[in-house]
Amino acid sequence: MSVFPASTAAALKPHLERWLRRPLRPEAAPIRLLQRRIYVLPSAAGLAFAAALLVMLLASINYELSLGFALTFLLGGVGLASMVHAFRNLLHLEIRPLRSEPVFCGEPARFALLLENGREAARPALCLATAESAAMADVPAGDSTEAVVERPTTRRGWLPLGRVTVETRYPLGLVRAWSTVHPDLRCLVYPAPETDPPPLPLDGGTRDGNLRRAAGEDDFAGLRQHQRADSPRHIAWKAFARGGPLLVKQFSGSAGGEVALDWHALPPALDEEARLARLAAWLLAAHGAGREFSLRMDDASLPRGGGARHLHEALKLLALHGRRNHEG
């Protein structure tokens, strides 16, 4: 008879899982794996191996097989040695957060971590896993290597890396040695741009909220590389069908001048996320066309400018709009 009823155990399981996955404070770099934070348990293959050893031991006792005893204890020693090697494969490993480039919502966030090995032996078959993905890495002796783990993005703003499990099943896969770390690393998630936005406004828009079409939109001026926010209507499909790259028709009305984007000039029917998506698409279109732009939000503004850095600052304003985590 079990101590706890099945219903009680089932009720306690979610609380136990929440406690195990409770948010932890980010750790200062470098994160060093010491003895007290490394755990070792047999894997599924290790449990099957132990069961086979038990059967071999019982058979050797029953039939008084000397060679059976020797083989059983030899294989048992190999299993114990694999446990020591798995533990040493993680011991004193150092982990440093490197970087995470901004992404648009819906794209995977990629976090780069540096694994440093200060000992004179290699550390093979290391696995770094989040709740959604895993990455394998081998660290040479006395050297370092870079590993990249991913997390899905479902909302704009700052996305912390969170808990990462560092594990190894080296050398035989009989045991699993692991440790959990919490690197101080986060990724900025831009709002996903609108897939088919209206043409770029020449200025902030008209008083009634309907944005004007740029002058000269119908004057063809050439082709340029495709940007994510470009309308499918402007893609040069004939050139693409002939095996060429994906190009977009460029019109003289979008080849120069300033774009003034204003949050309050957008149509009132758009909700907050739809407004951010449209502004993100226009920012990408203006940057792709080589036009300078300014951005005015209800809580912040960005003066006229251009270039990749200016685009990042504008998209960052959109990503953190209405968020409390504006720091960084």
Assessment of whether the complete model's pTM goes beyond 0.85: no
By the 8 A CB rule, do 27 and 96 touch? no
Which pLDDT belongs to residue 112? 97
Residues 7-26 pLDDT 10s:
665 676 676 556 556 556 88
Which pLDDT belongs to residue 215? 41
Distance from C-alpha of 66 to C-alpha of 213, rounded to nearest angstrom: 92
Residues 126-154 pLDDT 10s:
999 998 999 999 999 999 999 999 999 99
Which pLDDT belongs to residue 37? 94
Query: Over 50: is that where the pLDDT of 232 sits?
Result: yes
By the 8 A CB rule, do 86 and 176 touch? yes
List CB contacts of 248: < 8 A, sequence separation 6 or more: 223, 224, 225, 226, 227, 230, 234, 235, 236
Residue 193: name the closest of 268, 269, 288 by CA: 288
Rounded to the nearest angstrom, the gap between the alpha carbon of residue 97 and the centroid of all alpha carbons in its chain is 13
Which pLDDT belongs to residue 298? 84
Backbone angles phi, psi at 292, to 5 degrees: -75, 150
Which pLDDT belongs to residue 205? 45
List CB contacts of 49: < 8 A, sequence separation 6 or more: 42, 75, 79, 174
Determine how many CB atoms are found less than 10 A away from the CB of residue 100.
21
Report the percent of the chain where pLDDT is more than 70.
77
Rounded to the nearest angstrom, the gap between the alpha carbon of residue 319 and the centroid of all alpha carbons in its chain is 16
Query: Over 60: is that where the pLDDT of 174 sits?
Result: yes
Residues 47-93 pLDDT 10s:
999 999 999 999 999 999 999 999 999 999 999 999 999 999 999 99
Query: Over 50: is that where the pLDDT of 29 sits?
Result: yes
Q: Which residues pair with 166 in a beta bridge?
A: 128, 179
* Residue 168 banded pLDDT, cuts 50, 70, 90: very high
